[in-house]
C-alpha cells in the first residue's frame, strides 16, 4: 500500500489500536527485513492466544472500537476506515454505530501530519519508533483507553509500558499542546438528505460549513465531463448517486473527486455521494450517504439547483426544500435498476446492508434495516 494515511494504512493503524495486530506491525515497511520476523511472531502469538483461551470477541469490546475510531481521527485517516470499523462491529455483535463514531470524531483532535493532509509517511512513523510510539502519545493525551486486551495477551497499557515518548525534533506527531487541528478531518452528519448518515473528509476546508446548489450525476464520468466543459462553477455541490452498495457495489470514484481539484474549483465546491472515494481524495467530500439512492434514499430525490447545506461541527446536512416537496418527489420517483443482475455481485446487491451498517450481509445480520 502507499505510505500515506490513505485506506491501507488507516486500517492497519486502526487494527493495531483495536488490539488485533501485534505491536509495530502496522508501521513496518513491507520491504523491511523485520517483516519476516513479524510473520514468525504471528504463529507464536496465535499459540499463546489459544493456550490462554483468548478469543477475538474478548478483544473486540466497545471500548476497543472507541480506541480504533479515535486513532483513525488522530492520524487524519481515510473514510474507508469508518466503513470497515462499522462492518467489524456488526460482525462482532458489538453495540457500536455511526452515531458513536460521530461523537468521537467531534472531540478528537488531529495529531499527525501524514500526507495527504501533511507531508509525512508511514516510513517516517517507522523511523520514530512505529505505531506504538504514536499510541503511547495518544494514551498520554487520554485519547485511547489502555485497559483493552490485545493479541499479545496483554493490555494496551502493558504493551506500551516500555515504549519511549515521541522525539522532540520531528514534524510528524504534534506535541500535546500544539495540535494539527482541534477537531478531526472526518466528521459525520445526519439530516433529511442522509437520515442514516454521511461521512465527510474535509482536511482542506477552511470553514466547518458549506452551502451551495446541487449538480446531480449518476456516473463519475459525468462529473469529469462537466468539469472539462466548464459547467461546474464555484458554489456547486456535486451529487453523485446510484453508486451505493446495492446499486453497483460501492465503487471508488477518485476520478470524480480529482477532477474537482482544478484551481478554479479547489476548495470552492463540495461533493456528496452514496459511494466511496480513495483515501487520497482532496476537498470537501461526503461519502457513504445512507440510505443510498437505489433503495429510495433522499439523495436520489435531489434535483439540479436544490440548495444543500452542511455544518460539520453541528453534524447536520440538509437539502433545503419542504417536506411536502420531498414527499411529492418520492411518490414520483422510479428506482433505477441495479448494475449487476447475475452472479456474485447480484447476490451481494440483494443481501447487503446500507453503509451505516458497514455493508455487511443482511442474511447474517437480520436486524440490519
Distance CA 335, CA 327 (A): 15
Q: Is 309 a catalytic residue?
A: no
Distance CA 110, CA 71 (A): 9
DSSP secondary structure letter of residue 300: G
Catalytically annotated residue among 26, 27, 278, 318: 278
98 within 8 A of 105, measured Cβ to Cβ: no
Q: How far is CA 187 from the centre of its chain?
A: 9
* Residue of 290, 265, 261, 287 whose CA lies nearest to 276: 287
| Cβ atoms within 10 Å of 56's Cβ, excluding its own | 13
150 within 8 A of 144, measured Cβ to Cβ: no
Radius of gyration of the chain (CA): 21
Q: For residue 262, what is its C-alpha cell? A: 482544478
Q: For residue 181, what is its C-alpha cell? A: 487541528
Tell the burial category of 193 from Cβ atoms under 10 Å away from its Cβ (0-12, 13-18, 19+).
buried
DSSP secondary structure letter of residue 29: -
Query: 79 in helix, strand or coil?
Result: helix
Distance CA 222, CA 161 (A): 53
The alpha carbon dihedral of 101, 11, 244, 95 has a sign of negative
What is the full DSSP assignment across 135-169? HHHHHHTTSS-TT-B-TTSSBHHHHHTTPPPPPSS
Helix-helix angle 7-18:131-140, to 10 degrees? 60
* Beta-ladder partners of 186: 201
Distance CA 301, CA 241 (A): 10
- Active site (catalytic) residues: 278
Amino acid at each position: 500500500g502507499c505510505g500515506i494515511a490513505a485506506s491501507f494504512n488507516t486500517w492497519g493503524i486502526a487494527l493495531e489500536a483495536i488490539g488485533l495486530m501485534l505491536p509495530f506491525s502496522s508501521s513496518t515497511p513491507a520491504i523491511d527485513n523485520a517483516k519476516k520476523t513479524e510473520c514468525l511472531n504471528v504463529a507464536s502469538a496465535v499459540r499463546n492466544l489459544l493456550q490462554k483461551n483468548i478469543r477475538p470477541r474478548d478483544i473486540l469490546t466497545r471500548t476497543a472500537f472507541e480506541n480504533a475510531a479515535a486513532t483513525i481521527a488522530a492520524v487524519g485517516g481515510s473514510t474507508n476506515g469508518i466503513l470497515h470499523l462499522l462492518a467489524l462491529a456488526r460482525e462482532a455483535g458489538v453495540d457500536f454505530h455511526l452515531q458513536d463514531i460521530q461523537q468521537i470524531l467531534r472531540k478528537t483532535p488531529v495529531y499527525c501530519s501524514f500526507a495527504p493532509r501533511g507531508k509525512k509517511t508511514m516510513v517516517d512513523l517507522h523511523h520514530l519508533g512505529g505505531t506504538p510510539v504514536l499510541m503511547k502519545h495518544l494514551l498520554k493525551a487520554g485519547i485511547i483507553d489502555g485497559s483493552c486486551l490485545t493479541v499479545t495477551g496483554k493490555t494496551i497499557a502493558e504493551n506500551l509500558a516500555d515504549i519511549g515518548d515521541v522525539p522532540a525534533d520531528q514534524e510528524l506527531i504534534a506535541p500535546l499542546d500544539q495540535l494539527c487541528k482541534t477537531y478531526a478531518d472526518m466528521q459525520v452528519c445526519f439530516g433529511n438528505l442522509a437520515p442514516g448518515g454521511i461521512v465527510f473528509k474535509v482536511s482542506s476546508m477552511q470553514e466547518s460549513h458549506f452551502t451551495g446548489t446541487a449538480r446531480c450525476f449518476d456516473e463519475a464520468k459525468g462529473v469529469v465531463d462537466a468539469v472539462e466543459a466548464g459547467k461546474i462553477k464555484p458554489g456547486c455541490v456535486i451529487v453523485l448517486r446510484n453508486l451505493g452498495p446495492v446499486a453497483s457495489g460501492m465503487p471508488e470514484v477518485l476520478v470524480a473527486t480529482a477532477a474537482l481539484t482544478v484551481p478554479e474549483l479547489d476548495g470552492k465546491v463540495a461533493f456528496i455521494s452514496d459511494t466511496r472515494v480513495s483515501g487520497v481524495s482532496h476537498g470537501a467530500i461526503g461519502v457513504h450517504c445512507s440510505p443510498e439512492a437505489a433503495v429510495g434514499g433522499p439523495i436520489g430525490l435531489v434535483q439540479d439547483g436544490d440548495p444543500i447545506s452542511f455544518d460539520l461541527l453541528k453534524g447536520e446536512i440538509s437539502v433545503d426544500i419542504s417536506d411536502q416537496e420531498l414527499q411529492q418527489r418520492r411518490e414520483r420517483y422510479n428506482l433505477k435498476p441495479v448494475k449487476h443482475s447475475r452472479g456474485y455481485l447480484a447476490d451481494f446487491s440483494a443481501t447487503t446492508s446500507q453503509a451505516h451498517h458497514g455493508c455487511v450481509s443482511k442474511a447474517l445480520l437480520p436486524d440490519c434495516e
